[in-house]
Amino acid sequence: MIFLTVGTQLPFDRLVRTVDEWAGDHPGKPVFAQIGPTEYKPKNMEFMPFVDPTDCRSRILSSSLIISHAGMGTILTCLRNRKPILVMPRRAALSEHRNDHQLATVEKLRGKKGVHIAMEETELIEMITNMETFEAPEEVSDYANPDLIEAIRLFIENT
């Protein structure tokens, strides 16, 4: 199973449509899509606008690939659970977000094992087709960097 998620706040027609078209060409590869307020309604994959956080987590755990906008919630959950993720950033110029911070996010993630980046639709299609070659991310710890935790803990202790 492939799990597509675009978060809850904004539509992402370009990503949903592209993955739906891919799914139409690959009927043996089921995709479940969480499409948020996206207007385009998929024809070739099961979809829901929203899934609750617990359901979302278990779908990530039970999928072999997660396709997503470049939202940190999904990315962190995939890294934590060592699930390969393919992200396509939203672009402000296409009214997909209020600014281009997702472009900056993917540039920082580039090269990280298990995190795959498609900048546009053609690249996305190529990469989904090659998903068998994707590796799992490196193990990350359960929690934030110990220095950050210590800084906050000390601040609270001294309050």
Partner 1 sequence: MAEGSTKSMKKILAVASAGGHWIQLRRMAPAYQDQDCVYVTTNPGYRGDVGDSPYYAVRDASLWNKWSLLILAIQIFFIVLRFRPDVVISTGAAPGYFAIRFGRWFGARTIWVDSIANVEILSLSGQKVGKYADLWLTQWEHLSSQKGPHYRGSVL
Residues of this chain that bind partner 1 (CB under 8 A): 7-9, 52-54, 71-77, 79, 98, 101-102, 104-105, 107-108, 140, 142-153, 155-157, 159
Smallest distance from the beta carbon of 110 to partner 1, in angstroms? 12
Q: Is 58 exposed, middle or buried (0-12, 13-18, 19+ CB in 10 A)?
A: exposed
Smallest distance from the beta carbon of 70 to partner 1, in angstroms? 8
- Distance in angstroms (rounded) separating the CA atoms of residues 147 and 72: 21
> Of 1 and 154, which has the nearer Cβ to partner 1?
154
**Residue 30: CB atoms within 10 Å:** 13
The CA–CA distances, whole Å, from 36 to 7, 62, 75, 140 equal 6, 20, 17, 28
- Distance in angstroms (rounded) separating the CA atoms of residues 159 and 157: 6
Smallest distance from the beta carbon of 67 to partner 1, in angstroms? 17
> Of 56 and 65, which has the nearer Cβ to partner 1?
56
> Of 52 and 132, which has the nearer Cβ to partner 1?
52
Smallest distance from the beta carbon of 30 to partner 1, in angstroms? 24
The CA–CA distances, whole Å, from 108 to 105, 112, 159 equal 5, 9, 35
> Of 46 and 138, which has the nearer Cβ to partner 1?
138
